[in-house]
């Protein structure tokens, strides 16, 4: 009997390359605060919610105690406006390689799908990419209390799919995201660097390497 029944995808860096725009926007905000961030530090921001990302940057720059909640909200809003300008033209051709065909394959195999992204921009991005209808569920990030690496968001996805963890696989590009999947009891496919995505069950270099057989072999 086929066991794989559900696949839960991260969005930024898995379905489309918006992870790059998040990085560029955070880098600009950090520059305004005289904090220098690089791509190595950025691995610690991937998958993490907007406010938690800001806190990590301020802590990294030793400026966490310098701002109150109102100021921090203003900074997060500034970054988000910049980010939204960067993704205003996002379109179907920005879907990462192989992803559309893979989603079609899952649909044909009767496998249910969900998106578990920390991003409050997820719905808009999926609509702009023209693939919102490809997913059975999109977790509402606004209703998630604990940022990845906490498993809350992937547990919520399981609840929406109405499936147990052991018949599902999660796909992530972030170390925090892989931790979130694994702590929800789900098998994880990492997209990216195996030295970063240490807890993933399988690490692929890119989305074009996603194969149904690989996911089936994990459950
Ligand atoms: C995650 C990204 O998917 O969403 C993070 O990996 C981002 O980089 C987080 O900070 C929150 O996104 P948004 O769009 O709500 O600021
Ligand atoms: Mg991601």
| Cβ atoms within 10 Å of 89's Cβ, excluding its own | 8
Q: How far apart are CA 181 and CA 171, in angstroms?
A: 8
Please indicate whether the domains covering 6-16+91-217 and 19-88 agree at the CATH topology level.
no
**Portion of the chain with pLDDT greater than 70, in percent:** 100
Task: Look over the chain and give the mean of its residue pLDDT values, rounded to a whole number.
Answer: 97
For atom 12 of ligand 1, the residue with the nearest CA is 119
pLDDT of 1 strictly over 70? no
Cα(95)–Cα(16) distance, integer angstroms: 5
* Mean pLDDT calculated for residue range 102-130: 97
The domain 19-88 having CATH identifier 1.10.150.240: the answer here is yes
pLDDT digits (tens, 9 = 90+) for 139-164: 999 999 999 999 999 999 999 999 99
Give the CATH architecture of domain 6-16+91-217.
3-Layer(aba) Sandwich (3.40)
Catalytic sites, residue numbers: 10, 12
pTM of the model: 0.95
Rounded to whole angstroms, the Cα distance separating 20 from 176 reads 16
Closest-CA residue to 198 (of 183, 188, 207, 208):
188
Q: Which residues line ligand 1 (CB under 6 A)?
A: 11-12, 19, 22, 45-50, 53, 80, 117-121, 174
Query: What gap in Å lies between CA 127 and CA 38, rounded to an integer?
Result: 30
Query: Considering every ligand atom, which ligand is closest to the CA of 20?
Result: 1
pLDDT tens digits along 36-72: 999 999 999 999 999 999 999 999 999 999 999 999 9
> Which residue ranges make up each domain of the chain?
6-16+91-217, 19-88
CA 30 to chain centre: 21
CA–CA distance, 211 with 5 (Å, rounded to integer) = 15
Q: What is the pLDDT of residue 167?
A: 98
Question: Distance between terminal CA atoms of the chain?
Answer: 11
- For residue 175, cis peptide bond before it (omega within 30 degrees of 0): no
Region 8-19 average pLDDT: 96
Residue nearest atom 2 in ligand 1 by C-alpha distance: 47
Q: For residue 32, what is the enclosing H or E element?
A: helix 18-32
- Give CA–CA dist 11/140, Å, rounded: 13
Rg (CA), the chain: 17
């Amino acid at each position: 009997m086929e066991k794989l029944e559900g696949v839960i995808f991260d969005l930024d860096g898995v379905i489309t390359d918006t992870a790059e725009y998040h990085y560029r926007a955070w880098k600009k905000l950090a520059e305004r605060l005289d904090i220098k961030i690089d791509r190595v530090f950025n691995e610690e921001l991937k998958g993490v919610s907007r406010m938690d990302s800001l806190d990590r940057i301020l802590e990294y720059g030793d400026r966490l105690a310098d701002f109150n909640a109102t100021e921090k909200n203003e900074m997060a809003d500034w970054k988000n406006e910049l980010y939204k300008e960067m993704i205003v033209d996002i379109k179907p051709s920005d879907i990462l390689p192989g992803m559309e065909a893979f989603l079609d394959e899952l649909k044909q195999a009767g496998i249910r799908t969900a998106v578990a992204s920390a991003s409050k921009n997820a719905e808009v991005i999926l609509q702009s990419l023209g693939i919102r209808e490809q997913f059975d569920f999109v977790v509402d990030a606004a209703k998630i209390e604990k940022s990845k690496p906490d498993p809350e968001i992937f547990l919520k996805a399981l609840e929406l799919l109405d499936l147990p963890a052991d018949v599902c696989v999660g796909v992530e590009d972030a170390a925090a995201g892989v931790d979130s999947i694994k702590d929800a009891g789900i098998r994880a496919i990492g997209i990216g660097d195996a030295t970063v995505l240490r807890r993933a069950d399988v690490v692929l270099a890119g989305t074009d390497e996603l194969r149904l057989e690989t996911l089936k072999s994990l459950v």
